Structure 1
Amino acid sequence: MITRRDFIAQSSASAALIGAPKLALAELSLGAATLSTVSDGHLTLPGDFATANLPSEATDIIKGFGLNTDQFTPECNVTLYRDGTNTVLFDVGSGPDFMPSAGALQDSLDAVGVGLGDVTHVVFTHAHPDHIWGLLDDFDELVFPDASYHMGRAEWDYWWNPETVNTIDAGRTTFAVGAKRRLEILEEQINFFDDGDEVLSGIAAVASYGHTPGHMGFEVRSGSESALIVGDAIGNHHLAFHRPEWASNSDQDSETGITTRKMLLDRLASEQMAVVGFHLPDGGMGRVVRSDGHFRFVQEG
């Protein structure tokens, strides 16, 4: 049987012979730095995940994007920043224990020539499974052993709190247990930041609460060029853009999530800043434009 790793290795070898296509999903130059996305696979979600408790118009909007409403398979795009000195991952994907369709990050990094020991920093948007469960290997050792780790203080405090597992809704209890287990591994080496802090040179934290209580985005800037990594604060390219005032079933605090989503979309459209979204399509990198009273996601290139 040919495994995914075998397939990627064979594809990479063939690429070397035919001119090596760009293996990152999407890529953007920011001065001397490069911002790209690599795949952790995709999620597999039931058809009512995006539309439950919403008007029937929601289904029509999604169908208008040519999507199957029986099942959703949003991409998982992990952002990779390289400036010649630092190699930074924003989130670490699902690992093998969340969904069979996700957990491909290590293969994807290998395909773009980034070894696990090459990663200098890991910066978390939040601690949901598809963003943090890839932290550990099968022996509960850190997958990225030489990296420094960074998380927003409010996000850490929420998942560290022993009451979270009792107060989070029942469908997310395993999220709380899984997050706490991984945070315990990081306890002695985590670096905290708050809204507006410069996490690394040229990378500033942007509070984007709602999806989780301490969710963070990141503005990456070099001179006049910039991009905003939004994690899951803008969770899809259809309802989130067309009806940002509607509650998202993936947000833990839907009202705060609405406020955040509208703020981010307005800023991105006004400033024409590149956006990078964890679950946006085709690598998740593009621009936000206003169109007929709504917002629209336009891919880079």
Structure 2
Amino acid sequence: MRITRRSVMRGATGLGATFAFGRAWAAAEMDLGNLQITTLSDGHLQLPESFLIGDLPRDEARAILDAAGVAAGGYEPPCNVTLLRSDADVVLFDAGAGPGFMQSTGRLPEALAALDLTPGDITHVVFTHGHPDHLWGAIDDFDEPLFVNARHLIGRIERDYWTDPETLESIGAERQSFAAGAARRIELLGDRLETFENGDEVLPGVVARASFGHTPGHMSFEIGGGRALIAGDAIGNAHLAFARPEWPMPADQEPEQAARTRLSLQQELAEREVPLIGFHLPDGGIGRVAKNGDGFSFVSEM
């Protein structure tokens, strides 16, 4: 297994010139023989500190964040979309945020262009879950599917949750736009969107693994016979989620379930020394989990 990091530059041409001029896209790459994984930046989120700390023990949480270099007042986690290429397929895991979420996100088309790929080259889009920064980018400015030649796949439980009318009433006011936006985009995808179950081999060498809690039907994916794990937001940051995986994090919709999932995944990944690919983890999101005292730490492979 070989993991590298490189930067690619796209020139100022075409409709994307305003954003693309001079922009270097850091791409972390993992070679698994017949499978190549590249993580691409969709930009970053802009979140308040409360999104990280919430009702957690503030002094202890703030000490962990200070040690990690996270300044008080706000948080800007990266958004790493995973591209998997084989001889037959060009697969995206998640679709980024698209144009309608935050100004600091929606950069995936530029990142693909930097690798000489277009949305039309994508054969499959596989979703970890239905939050805006993962699902909304599947639909373009004209309410049409962006990846016109791709099959789209999502866990059945996750699809059913976001399309249930009761979700809008039960999710809480701060996330109601998430529910409305997910339901709308799932409707727009229509018959293009297929579902799968826990344990299904959704593509050759890609097995779905339940990692519920961040959302009710969140899925991770074992790649190449368990040689890597795409974890989505099951492990949502590189500091609190590792140092105190048992804490119920405010970013998770089902915090207690998410904490159990997070702790179990980190224990397993540390023991097996399996590479982890996380959507909001640093350095392109590729690294390993190491035991660190009573908790764990994220060790970047870059």
Tell me the TM-score normalised to structure 2 length: 0.92
Q: Is the 8 A contact 1:217 1:228 kept in 2?
A: yes
Q: Report Cα offsets for 1:82-128 as digits up to 9, x if no partner.
A: 01210000000111111111110100110112111100000000000
Aligned equivalent of 2:138, options 135, 138, 154: 135
How far apart in 1 are the matches of 2:182 and 2:130?
Answer: 6
* Letter of the 1:276 counterpart: I
How far apart in 1 are the matches of 2:48 and 2:15?
Answer: 25
Report the 3-state secondary structure (helix = DSSP H, G, I; strand = E; otherwise coil) of the residue aligned with 1:125: coil
The answer for unaligned runs of 5 or more in structure 2 is 1-11
Tell me the TM-score normalised to structure 1 length: 0.92
2:120 aligned with 1:117, yes or no? yes
Aligned equivalent of 1:210, options 192, 208, 213: 213
CA gap of 1:130–1:290, structure 2 versus 1, over 3 A, is same
- 1:11 is displaced (CA, Å) by 4.8
Aligned equivalent of 1:76, options 50, 75, 79: 79
CA gap of 1:8–1:160, structure 2 versus 1, over 3 A, is closer
- 1:129 is displaced (CA, Å) by 0.4
Q: Report Cα offsets for 1:254-283 as digits up to 9, x if no partner.
A: 010011001110111011110000000111
Q: Is the 8 A contact 2:25 2:41 kept in 1?
A: no
Residue number in structure 1 paired with 2:3: none
Residue number in structure 2 paired with 1:17: none
* Letter of the 1:181 counterpart: R
CA gap of 1:247–1:184, structure 2 versus 1, over 3 A, is same
Alignment map for 1:227-246 (pairs within 5 Å): 227-246=228-247
How far apart in 2 are the matches of 1:161 and 1:289?
Answer: 39
Report the 3-state secondary structure (helix = DSSP H, G, I; strand = E; otherwise coil) of the residue aligned with 1:218: strand
Residue number in structure 2 paired with 1:103: 106
Residue number in structure 1 paired with 2:297: 296
Q: Is the 8 A contact 2:54 2:249 kept in 1?
A: no
Residue number in structure 2 paired with 1:32: 34
How far apart in 1 are the matches of 2:88 and 2:220?
Answer: 22
Residue number in structure 1 paired with 2:165: 162
CA gap of 1:4–1:295, structure 2 versus 1, over 3 A, is farther
Identity of aligned residues (%): 49
Report the 3-state secondary structure (helix = DSSP H, G, I; strand = E; otherwise coil) of the residue aligned with 1:172: helix
How far apart in 2 are the matches of 1:212 and 1:297?
Answer: 22
2:17 aligned with 1:6, yes or no? yes
Q: Report Cα offsets for 1:7-46 as digits up to 9, x if no partner.
A: 776559xxxxxxxxx9552110111211110000000011
* Letter of the 2:235 counterpart: I
Report the 3-state secondary structure (helix = DSSP H, G, I; strand = E; otherwise coil) of the residue aligned with 1:287: strand
Residue number in structure 2 paired with 1:49: 51
Residue number in structure 1 paired with 2:152: 149
CA gap of 1:8–1:29, structure 2 versus 1, over 3 A, is farther
Detail structure 1 runs of 4+ shifted over 3 Å in the superposition.
1-5, 7-12
- 1:232 is displaced (CA, Å) by 0.5
Measured on the aligned residues, the alpha-carbon RMSD in Å equals 1.9
- 1:198 is displaced (CA, Å) by 0.3
Report the 3-state secondary structure (helix = DSSP H, G, I; strand = E; otherwise coil) of the residue aligned with 1:211: coil
Residue number in structure 1 paired with 2:253: 252
How far apart in 2 are the matches of 1:144 and 1:36?
Answer: 18
How far apart in 2 are the matches of 1:2 and 1:192?
Answer: 38
Q: Report Cα offsets for 1:144-175 as digits up to 9, x if no partner.
A: 00000100000001001111111111100000
Q: Is the 8 A contact 1:80 1:88 kept in 2?
A: yes
* Letter of the 1:191 counterpart: E
CA gap of 1:2–1:23, structure 2 versus 1, over 3 A, is closer
**Matched positions, count:** 290
- 1:137 is displaced (CA, Å) by 1.1
2:179 aligned with 1:176, yes or no? yes
How far apart in 2 are the matches of 1:70 and 1:4?
Answer: 35
* Letter of the 1:166 counterpart: E
- 1:47 is displaced (CA, Å) by 1.8
